[in-house]
Amino acid sequence: LDRDRDLGIYRSNLEFGNRGWQFWYGFSTKSIDKIKNRIFLNSLLAIISSLGVLGVSLYFLISFFTKPIKYLLAGVKEISKGNLDYQVKVSSYDEIGELARAFDQMTVDLKKSKQELENYSKKLKQKVVERTSDLDQKMAELKRMNDLMTHRELKMIELKEKIKNLENSTKKRAN
Q: What is the mean pLDDT of each run of 10 residues along the chain (175 residues)?
A: 66 77 74 87 97 97 88 91 89 86 92 96 96 96 95 94 92 81
pLDDT value at position 91? 81
How high is the pLDDT of residue 5?
Answer: 67
Residue 90: per-residue pLDDT: 80
Structure-derived torsion over alpha carbons of residues 24, 29, 33, 34, reported in degrees to the nearest 10: -90
Spatial separation of the C-alpha atoms in residues 111 and 119, rounded to whole Å? 12
Position 4 scores a pLDDT of 65
Spatial contact of 72 and 100, defined as CB atoms under 8 Å apart:
yes
Q: Which residues contact 8 (CB under 8 A, 6 or more apart)?
A: 1, 2, 26, 27, 28, 29, 32
pLDDT at 14: 78
pLDDT at 115: 95
Residue 100 CB-density burial (10 A; 0-12 exposed, 13-18 middle, 19+ buried): buried
